[in-house]
């Protein structure tokens, strides 16, 4: 029996579970909320509220952590680092979901997994520290996945475009890399099927693009007017939203294709948005 212990079983991990459950996997998922645990149980996973529950590392053959670091470090390692180190010999695969924010700003230039890490934000710096902390565990069969901006069912631009609240933030030369959640899931599943401990993978699509182009295309698909444009310097953005624009880079994804044999279902935002709209 293959058993995945998924700590912080959120959007991406749930998409992976949808692939693994039909193959006979057992998924033990953690969440912070009892109501969410009951919802997760309905999807076929065994849900535990953590912190609080005693996590069954002895049953797990695989481990996935989706929990973001905070000012005190990686919450999972802070609470469970000793137990994870003890479990390392019998864990066949460990996955850590990180972010392309670890690369920082490259003025729109390309980065790959070998690019030096120069985070431009505090969040990015915390991710670098968390990656290093996981890498420091002896004998852990660790795989790091640096995710681009995630979209998918329930997470797309259509609702704001329909409401008329969407705004195209105009910052010349700015691009972002993206990834559909179903493609994250297939990358993780491909890595589980062919582990390569120590490997790092960028998880993004083929087409880094300006954010305003995505909104314009979403509006066109809906047959609605293009959302109004607002210069970046005049935009009313939260500090977190504004911080995303501090980093401008194009992320290469060759490794997931070459080493894991992944063919992206949604190689660009146009394919992804069309599928989301068709699915309703």
**CA distance readout (Å), 10 to 6, 29, 39:** 9, 9, 12
Any alpha helices (H) in 56-171, and if so which ranges? Answer: 75-87, 122-135, 158-163
DSSP letter at 63? E
Give the per-residue pLDDT at 280.
Answer: 75
> pLDDT grade, residue 84 (50/70/90)?
very high
Give the per-residue pLDDT at 123.
Answer: 93
Give the per-residue pLDDT at 190.
Answer: 98
Closest CA to 180 of 154, 201, 148, 150: 150
pLDDT of 27 over the 80 cut: yes
Residues 6+ apart with CB under 8 A from 8: 30, 31, 65, 66, 67, 76
Tens digit of pLDDT for each residue in 28-53?
Answer: 999 999 999 999 999 999 999 999 99
What mean pLDDT comes out for the span 17-26?
98
Residues 6+ apart with CB under 8 A from 18: 43, 185
What mean pLDDT comes out for the span 105-116?
98
Tens digit of pLDDT for each residue in 222-275?
Answer: 999 999 999 999 999 999 888 899 999 999 999 999 999 999 999 999 999 999
What mean pLDDT comes out for the span 119-125?
93
Give the chain's mean pLDDT. Answer: 97
Residues 6+ apart with CB under 8 A from 46: 26, 27, 28, 29
Query: 17-52 b/e with 16+ CB inside 10 Å = b?
Result: beebeeeebbbbbbbeeeebbeebeeeebbbbebee
Check the CA dihedral 184-113-63-20 and report its sign: positive
- Length, in residues, of the chain: 280
Give the per-residue pLDDT at 193.
Answer: 98
Give the per-residue pLDDT at 240.
Answer: 87
Tens digit of pLDDT for each residue in 188-210?
Answer: 999 999 999 999 999 999 999 99
Give the per-residue pLDDT at 159.
Answer: 93
What mean pLDDT comes out for the span 89-94?
98
Closest CA to 112 of 67, 171, 193, 177: 177
Q: Are 35 and 93 in contact (CB under 8 A)?
A: no
Second CATH level (architecture) for the domain 3-149+180-204+252-264: 3-Layer(aba) Sandwich (3.40)
What mean pLDDT comes out for the span 9-36?
97
């Amino acid at each position: 029996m293959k058993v995945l212990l998924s700590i912080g079983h959120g959007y991406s991990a749930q998409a992976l579970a949808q692939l693994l459950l039909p193959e006979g996997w057992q998924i033990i998922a953690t969440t912070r909320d009892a109501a969410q645990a009951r919802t997760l149980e309905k999807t076929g996973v065994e849900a535990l509220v953590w912190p609080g529950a005693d996590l069954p590392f002895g049953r797990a053959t695989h481990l996935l952590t989706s929990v973001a670091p905070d000012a005190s470090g990686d919450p999972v390692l802070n609470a469970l680092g000793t137990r994870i180190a003890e479990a390392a010999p019998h864990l066949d695969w460990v996955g850590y979901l990180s972010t392309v924010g670890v690369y920082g700003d490259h003025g729109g230039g390309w980065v790959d997994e070998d690019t030096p890490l120069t985070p431009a934000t505090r969040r990015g710096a915390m991710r670098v520290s968390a990656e290093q902390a996981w890498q420091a565990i002896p004998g852990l069969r660790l795989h790091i996945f640096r995710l681009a901006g995630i979209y998918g069912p329930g997470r797309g631009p259509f609702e704001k475009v329909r409401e008329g609240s969407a705004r195209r933030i105009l910052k010349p030369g700015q691009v972002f890399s993206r990834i559909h959640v179903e493609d994250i899931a297939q990358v993780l599943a491909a890595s589980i099927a062919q582990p390569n401990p120590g490997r790092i993978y960028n998880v993004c699509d083929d087409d880094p693009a300006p954010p305003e182009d995505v909104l314009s295309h979403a509006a066109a698909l809906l047959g609605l007017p293009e959302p109004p444009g607002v210069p970046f310097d005049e935009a009313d953005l939260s500090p977190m939203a504004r911080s995303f624009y501090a980093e401008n880079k194009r992320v290469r994804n060759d490794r997931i294709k070459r080493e894991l044999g992944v063919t992206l279902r949604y190689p660009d935002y146009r394919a992804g948005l069309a599928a989301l709209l068709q699915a309703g």
